[in-house]
Amino acid sequence: MLLSFLAIAIGLSILVWSASKFVEGSAATAGHFGMPPLLIGMVVVGFGTSAPEMVVSALSATQGNPGLALGNAYGSNITNIALILGITALISPIAVHSQVMRKELPILTAVTALAAWQVWDGELTFVDALVLLGVFFLLLAWSIRQGMTQKADALGVEIAEEMSHRAMPLRNAVLWLIVGLLLLIVSSRILVWGAVELALGFGVSDLIIGLTIVAVGTSLPELASSVIAARKGEHDIALGNILGSNLFNTLAVVGIAGTISPMTVAPEMFYRDIAVMAALTLSLFILGYGFRGPGRINRLEGGLLLACFVGYTVYLISTTFSS
């Protein structure tokens, strides 16, 4: 049991560190080859910050642990909204622009509805997974096209500034890209092994471990980047990071895992976990709507989101060990 906890702790530590290095190396390499900052922000950094969820879920699917694969993806979505957005709003209230209410949130809501519709029958088939990946690439292409037509983009500007401060030679950039990717894979294997062993040791499903320990651990890159953005007053980046990560998890992470191994979905995932994920997504419309001025998620609402996360986690643990 102690070895399982140690494997999870070591795996998560290396996973978060290697994801950061992978993003830095990938972004710097792309910059050396002339990729515009906006594309680096949307594609390279977007993939990089969600790389932990992607690699962990893919390995879990390969090793026949569907609960861990799906629990990691959907649990990360719940963590992103309830825990990370809650903490971020407590640090600094988050401004919600009308564009987010008109475009990003409706898209995420539709994608969440698609995810729920696909698994209501208890299965995530190969075709379901292909549909998710198809929607993901269509949205990515549309977002890139939309972004390239805009003269000013907060994320693109931020990435350009970060790259100017962290310029590195091409050789170092490629080295960190390769090292980061290799360590991502190795640390994910350690984490998955520890998570499975822990589930067996406690006699609980790998779904519960995926929804809690693994989901929170793989969401640490999003927590770090959102908190830093909030402290800088960059609300667009803080909120966009969460919404983008949830889109990536729902479409790409689940899609990749499903194409590797079609899965049987536990009934409780539909009526409990996906229902919570959908409710939290819809709650952003209410929290972000400006009734008496510009929309924003204030500290009180951030505290409510955090309370939802604590309540959900306590419910998971209590029902697991009482049954």
Tens of pLDDT, residue by residue, the chain (323 residues): 788 889 989 988 898 888 778 877 877 777 777 766 556 655 666 666 678 888 899 999 998 888 899 999 999 999 999 999 999 999 888 888 767 777 888 999 999 999 999 999 899 999 999 999 999 999 888 877 776 665 444 545 555 555 554 567 888 888 888 888 888 889 888 988 898 888 888 888 888 988 998 988 888 877 877 777 777 776 666 787 788 889 999 999 999 999 999 998 988 999 999 999 999 999 988 887 755 556 788 899 999 999 999 999 999 988 887 65
C-alpha–C-alpha distance, residues 182 and 188, integer Å: 10
Distances (CA, A) of 311 to 18, 216, 306, 308: 31, 15, 9, 5
The confidence score (pLDDT) of residue 279 equals 96
pLDDT score, position 295: 75
Q: What is the pTM of this model?
A: 0.85
CATH of the domain at 173: 1.20.1420.30
Q: Residue 220 sits in which domain range?
A: 2-322
Q: Could you tell me if 19 and 179 are in contact, meaning their C-beta atoms sit under 8 angstroms apart?
A: no
pLDDT of residue 157: 54
Count up the domains in the chain and report the number.
1
Question: What local confidence, expressed as pLDDT, does residue 152 receive?
Answer: 45
Contacts of 320 (CB under 8 A, 6+ apart): 204, 205, 208
108 contacts: CB under 8 Å, gap ≥ 6: 243, 246, 247, 250, 281
State residue 39's pLDDT score: 60
Determine contact, residues 168/32, Cβ cutoff 8 Å.
no
